[in-house]
Structure 1
Amino acid sequence: MPGPKELDPSSSPRAMVGSELRHAREAAGMTQPELGAPLFVSGSFIGQLELGTRRMQLEYAIKFDEILDTGGFFVRNCRAATKSKYPDHFADAVEAEAIATAIKEYAPLLIPGLLQTEAYARAVFRGGRPTATEDVIDQLVEARLERTKLLSDPTTPLFWGILDEATLRRQVGDAAVMAEALRNVANLMRRHRVIVQLLPFSAGAHMALEGALKLMSFSDAPPLVYLQSMGSGQLLDDPASVARYELTYDLLGASALSPRESLAQIEQLAEDYDHEAQQQ
């Protein structure tokens, strides 16, 4: 069995704190489950902290300093390690997304963030924050576009999206914005960089009617599920929950159009939006 992944402590504050946590735990002769027990968390949760996929909260930092006798190191570094440009409910998911080997996402209302164009993202943020300053919107768009760089690698991570038909029919921005956004998705599909399936309205009721779903897999850590709702989100690692949502995703894929059929529909809608934009 391969050993744990070697982290580059200079890559981020979280990576540094995670690396030190693993070093201190091993020096104390403790396993991940043994360290997690006094905190009432699983061994896999400790592993995620060590990998930097979970943000270290102050309450955990205090306990680690006590248990591992690290002289306040984790409390001192907790703030830097948890600093993020993203909302608290989403920051852990973004960190996990950045090191995932596979991402499967069901999008019920909006094109997934990793597939968005600048104009589409700007329209999304402006719609959700009608009184925000342009500087605020610019910062949000910049953070969104930074995430899309994950797909600049030709093979990793694998991205498989299931888009509800509503994501293509709901006009975010004007028709030109939608045409560009759908062409971007189609181009990624044609380059074989992503797998996308369209879940048509005709599929009817399904197991994910209540919201968005993201599954993330890793080379050396258990899979995670991220569930998002308005202004909040939840990152789950419980094996039973993960298995349930994996089944949900598989059933969605079985009800969706094939990637080939989905590409044809997406390109046709992009043409329709182009025609509408020319008329306008």
Structure 2
Amino acid sequence: MTTAHGEGETGILRCFGQQLRLLRTSRGLTRAELGAKLSYGEDMVASVELGRRIPKPEFIERADAVLEVGGLLTVMKEEVARARYPAFFRDAAKLEAEAVELHVYANQAVPGLLQTEEYARAVFGVLRPPLDEGIVNERVAARLARQEIFHRTPHPLMSFVIDESVLRRPIGGRDVLRGQLEQVLLVSHMRHVEVQVMPLDRDENAGMAGPFTLIETKGERRIAYVEVQNVSRVHSDRESVRALEAKYGTLRAQALTPRESLAYVEKLLGEP
């Protein structure tokens, strides 16, 4: 992984890097020596110490064990991991990871939690101004890591309402779209997940104001996340959340049923 993006994430990376350097030098180790003990190269250690790269969890765990610091580094693992996300999404990512229920309406692109690696790379690749290749790789890896939520126990209850236009838009090309539709079908068969399609021919669509996500956490907090043009907001006040919950209920009623949606995606896959 390469250069981080944004003041918040570079701050935590620099802090972690400085801590690693102080602990390394206090043990009398060079970067090359520590790298050898961690099974990483000297360049990797240098980049982490300078806050230029986001260390993977296994790097942090090995460094903590090798330097015998009793959790001083691993305690920062979660915050370092959050640096993988753009600043505007970081709070939402933390809430998403704690969700017992999660409901998503999408009318611009396939929701990140459902994206294949190829589709995610294409989505980040078309952003303007363009992102550095290293940042694209970083964002793709972070997006795929979020999908661990599908396999968490106990399973969170999840639903998605996706506009038909999203499933027809060939971001990345026809082959990429086909792989993405197959992924949507695969996830649709999970018992704790429901996917619905909002047809273009509906004369009523409650989601014209844009995409949003509803989250309920273990502590029974109910939150809404809204993002437009990389400007995001997490709503926690009951009035705002209730309004979006009502909107989502209407969207589910207007959309195809889960079974009809499954058949629709299968039909799309059969089209030339």
TM bucket, shorter chain:
0.5 to 0.7
Contact 2:216 2:223 in 1 (8 A): yes
Question: 1:136: Cα distance to partner?
Answer: 1.9
Does 2:233 correspond to 1:240? no
Separation (CA, whole Å) in 1 of partners of 2:260 and 2:242: 28
Deviates more, 1:193-202 or 1:242-251: 193-202
Separation (CA, whole Å) in 2 of partners of 1:153 and 1:167: 27
Aligned to 2:205: 206
Question: 1:270: Cα distance to partner?
Answer: 2.1
Question: 1:141: Cα distance to partner?
Answer: 0.6
Report the secondary structure of 1:128's partner residue: coil
Contact 1:180 1:270 in 2 (8 A): no
- 1:105-157 alpha-carbon deviations (Å, 9 max, x no partner): 00011111001100000000001157433222111111111111111236522
Aligned to 1:32: none
Aligned to 1:228: 227
Contact 1:117 1:184 in 2 (8 A): yes
1:182-197 matches, within 5 Å, as 182-197=181-196
Report the secondary structure of 1:151's partner residue: helix
Question: 1:192: Cα distance to partner?
Answer: 2.5
Aligned to 1:165: 164
Separation (CA, whole Å) in 2 of partners of 1:152 and 1:158: 12
1:240 maps to a residue whose letter is E
Q: Give aligned-pair identity as a percent.
A: 34
1:247 maps to a residue whose letter is A
Aligned to 2:23: none
Structure 1: state its 5+ residue gaps.
Answer: 1-12, 14-76, 276-280
Contact 1:178 1:270 in 2 (8 A): no
TM-score scaled by length of structure 2:
0.67
1:67-146 matches, within 5 Å, as 84-129=83-128, 131-146=130-145
Separation (CA, whole Å) in 1 of partners of 2:91 and 2:129: 26
In structure 2, relative to structure 1, the CA distance for the partners of 1:125 and 1:248 (3 Å cut) is same
- 1:4-47 alpha-carbon deviations (Å, 9 max, x no partner): xxxxxxxxx9xxxxxxxxxxxxxxxxxxxxxxxxxxxxxxxxxx
In structure 2, relative to structure 1, the CA distance for the partners of 1:172 and 1:81 (3 Å cut) is closer
Question: 1:187: Cα distance to partner?
Answer: 1.1
In structure 2, relative to structure 1, the CA distance for the partners of 1:237 and 1:130 (3 Å cut) is closer
- 1:41-88 alpha-carbon deviations (Å, 9 max, x no partner): xxxxxxxxxxxxxxxxxxxxxxxxxxxxxxxxxxxx9xx699632222
Aligned to 1:50: none
Does 2:247 correspond to 1:271? no
Separation (CA, whole Å) in 1 of partners of 2:96 and 2:84: 15
Aligned to 1:148: 147
In structure 2, relative to structure 1, the CA distance for the partners of 1:189 and 1:81 (3 Å cut) is closer
In structure 2, relative to structure 1, the CA distance for the partners of 1:120 and 1:198 (3 Å cut) is same
Structure 2: state its 5+ residue gaps.
Answer: 1-11, 13-75
Separation (CA, whole Å) in 1 of partners of 2:218 and 2:98: 9
TM-score scaled by length of structure 1:
0.65
Contact 1:164 1:198 in 2 (8 A): yes
Separation (CA, whole Å) in 2 of partners of 1:235 and 1:132: 25
Aligned to 2:36: none
In structure 2, relative to structure 1, the CA distance for the partners of 1:225 and 1:104 (3 Å cut) is same
Report the secondary structure of 1:203's partner residue: coil
Separation (CA, whole Å) in 1 of partners of 2:183 and 2:230: 27
In structure 2, relative to structure 1, the CA distance for the partners of 1:181 and 1:130 (3 Å cut) is farther
